[in-house]
Chain A
Amino acid sequence: MKTKDVVIGITTAILLLVIAIAIILGGTGWTPLTEIRLLAKFYLENCFNLFDKNYWAASPEAVSAMLWDYRGIDTYYETAVFFLAVISGVALFRIAEVKVGAISSMRRELGLSIIVKTVTRIAFPLIITVSASVALHGHLTPGGGFQSGSMMAVAFLTAIAAFSRYFIEENLKLTKDNFLTLRSVGLITIAILALAPILAGSIALMQNQAKPWSSTPSFPEALGILWTAGSIFYYNLAEFLTVGAGFTLLFLLISIPEEEFRRILRL
Chain B
Amino acid sequence: MNFEIFLQLYGYLALMVIMVISLYGIVRGASLIKKLIALTIFGDTANALIIFLGFKFGEIYPPVLPTLKPTLEDIAWFVSTAVDPVPQCLVITAVVINMAITMFLAFLVIQIYRLYGTTMVKKIAKLKG
Contact = CB atoms under 8 A, between A and B. Distances in A.
Q: How large is the interface on A (under 10, 10 to 19, 20 to 34, 35 or more residues)?
A: 35 or more
A247 B8 CA distance: 36
Interface in A6-39: 8, 12, 15-16, 19-20, 23, 28-29, 31-37, 39
Given A16-B20, A41-B79, A92-B111, A142 B64 contact: yes
B63 A61 contact: yes
Interface string A69-84: 0010011001001100
Interface stretch (A47-55, A124-132, A202-210): A47-55
A34 B89 contact: no
Interface string B49-89: 00001101110001111111110100100110011111011
Provide the main secondary structure of the chain A interface. helix
A146 B70 contact: no
Given A41-B79, A81-B97, A261 B114 contact: yes
B4 A146 contact: no
B12 interface: yes
A85 interface: yes
Interface string B92-129: 11111101110110111011001100000000000000
Contact of B100 (A8, A16, A71, A246): A246
Contacts of B28: 8
A62 B66 CA distance: 11
B86 A67 contact: no
Nearest to A145: B96
Interface string B1-38: 00011001000110011011001100010000000000
Nearest to B50: A28
Nearest to B94: A78
Contacts of A36: 54, 56, 82-84
9 contacts: A23-B12, A50-B69, A60-B65, A62-B63, A63-B63, A81-B100, A146-B95, A250-B107, A265-B114
Given A32-B56, A262-B114, 8 more contacts: A23-B16, A28-B53, A34-B58, A61-B65, A63-B92, A142-B64, A247-B99, A247-B100
Interface of A: 8, 12, 15-16, 19-20, 23, 28-29, 31-37, 39-41, 43-45, 47-51, 60-63, 66-67, 71, 74-75, 78, 81-82, 85-86, 88-89, 92-93, 140-142, 144, 146-147, 149-150, 227, 243, 246-247, 250, 253-254, 258, 261-262, 265, 267
